[in-house]
Structure 1
Amino acid sequence: MSGIAACERVQDEFFSASAVSSGGRNFSTHRMKWSWLPDSADLIARFPSEITASGLRPALAEGARLGAKMAGIWVNSAVRQGELASFGFIKGWQPWWMTCLTDQLPPAPGLPGVELVARQGEDLPGTSWQVSAVLSSGQRAGLQLGKCLLFPSPTTPELGGVFEMAVQPEYQRLGIGTAMLQKLGEIARKAGISQLILNSTPVGLRLYQAQGFQLIGKGQTYWLELS
């Protein structure tokens, strides 16, 4: 299976595609690639190979002009922090890189009263599929209980990323997250995707491990409040 470099590449591609689909933009400064994500008001540096003042200063000025609330740097754990501390960045959460072969994911089960709805659209990053879990009956029929995204890599057809996995708090631990993940697996197999990657937090680790995902490494993020 592919390793951490593939996880970082798909995450990079997802940020870039998200900027386009949300009306943001991608740009570069000295050896640093950036994505402006207006939906979250975040300015993201995508896995720079080097972090310098000449790369940070113009990007942060542009972020302030665009109205960014936060600037985030996603890095490989081997990359030196460089000038981050002098600009006020603080260490943030670690993405836990995980991967799984799609043929290891079982078919999505039927959940009583819940329908899994899959769609594509121009509002989604790249050629993503969004899977939503919605109530299928009763007075609250149509209520969205959770959602997640399958993002096919535009450069590596056999790879797909799982992003934006979320279930409303009152509907957690009912199998909804598992069912959505397995539905993404079905879609991925039909699309010719043989391997899924994702970044997890400790909270989601058990869900993904139970479905066959393996933890292969950890990255690092740094954050600066701009507003």
Structure 2
Amino acid sequence: MQTEWLRARAESLGGRVWSDGPLTWVDGPDGLILVFPETIDPSALERSIEQARNEERELVGAWVDNEMDASALAAAGFERGWAPWWLAADLAGIDAPADPRVHVGVDLEDVRDEQGHNGYDRMLGLARAQPERAFYAGIRIDGVLAGHAWSFVDGDVAGIFDLDVWPPFRRRGFGAALLHAVAAAAHGAGARTAVVGTSPQDAIIYRAQGFNRVGMSSTWWRHL
């Protein structure tokens, strides 16, 4: 699911996706990322690093399953970063009354409010490019955008991504309202299971909504 999310964003927003032997690379809003290889060919890895250096990139990343041998990444100068927990839930069990302050979709106010938020206004193009799969939800409090979330459907599985409530609005139930909104949109699009990658500290938010831990992965980063 993480791979499909990164791929969709890259392909919808002018990036690219390619493979070199067993390595699949996504060049999208998060930069140049190696996505969940089953094995790592050191020569293919070095070719991509050299390409990134020639393009004057500052950073190359990788997402890997914790059961994969990542020694080739360490040997190539990558350093281990954050290690997300993966949780899953039955979408039929994520049910709550809709909060009228949450809207699913993108309007002009969202675009204006998201400008300057790490260039996030470009990301909103994904909801327009793939409206049957990508669902953006925003919550407005007194007319001000207070947080957002995404769900992305791939077959009968939906990923929950970028759920965030701005600091002045936290601890008021808005995160749960956003989660319910994007989960309902994904369920309506045919997904049966939701998955999310999160930090151990934030996992409690999802556990309270019926998510259970199913695995772990790691990120690795090479500063050029």
**TM-score where L is the length of structure 1:** 0.83
Q: Cα offset for 1:52? A: 2.5
Q: Cα offset for 1:123? A: 3.0
Q: What residue in structure 1 maps to residue 53 of structure 2?
A: 64
- Residue 211 of structure 1: SS of its match in structure 2? coil
Q: What residue in structure 2 maps to residue 134 of structure 1?
A: 140
**In the alignment, residue 53 of structure 1 is paired with which amino acid?**
P
Q: Cα offset for 1:109? A: 4.7
Q: Cα offset for 1:66? A: 4.1
- 1:54 aligned to 23, 43, 65, which one? 43
Q: What residue in structure 1 maps to residue 114 of structure 2?
A: none
Deviations 1:170-191 (A, max 9, x none): 1111111100001112212221
- Partners of 1:35 and 1:190 lie apart in 2 by 29
- Residue 60 of structure 1: SS of its match in structure 2? helix
Percent pairwise identity: 26
Name whichever structure is richer in helix by fraction. 2
Q: Is the 8 A contact 1:29 1:54 kept in 2?
A: no
The residue correspondences of 1:72-221 to structure 2 (distance < 5 A) are 72-110=61-99, 115-119=101-105, 122-124=125-127, 126=130, 127-135=133-141, 137=142, 141=143, 143-153=144-154, 157-221=155-219
Deviations 1:202-221 (A, max 9, x none): 23211100000001111111
- Partners of 1:12 and 1:79 lie apart in 2 by 16
Q: What residue in structure 1 maps to residue 221 of structure 2?
A: 223
**TM-score where L is the length of structure 2:** 0.84
- Partners of 1:67 and 1:203 lie apart in 2 by 35
- Residue 72 of structure 2: SS of its match in structure 1? coil
- Partners of 1:196 and 1:190 lie apart in 2 by 12
Q: Is the 8 A contact 2:84 2:199 kept in 1?
A: yes
Q: How many pairs align?
A: 204
- Partners of 1:170 and 1:133 lie apart in 2 by 13
- Residue 58 of structure 1: SS of its match in structure 2? helix
**In the alignment, residue 192 of structure 1 is paired with which amino acid?**
G
Any unmatched runs of 5+ in structure 1?
1-9
- Residue 126 of structure 2: SS of its match in structure 1? coil
- Partners of 2:55 and 2:177 lie apart in 1 by 38
Any unmatched runs of 5+ in structure 2?
107-123
Q: What residue in structure 2 maps to residue 6 of structure 1?
A: none
Instruction: Indicate the RMSD between aligned Cα atoms, in angstroms.
Output: 1.8
- Residue 78 of structure 1: SS of its match in structure 2? coil
Q: Is the 8 A contact 1:30 1:54 kept in 2?
A: no
Q: What residue in structure 1 maps to residue 20 of structure 2?
A: 29
Q: Is the 8 A contact 1:99 1:195 kept in 2?
A: yes
- 2:4 aligned to 9, 13, 17, which one? 13
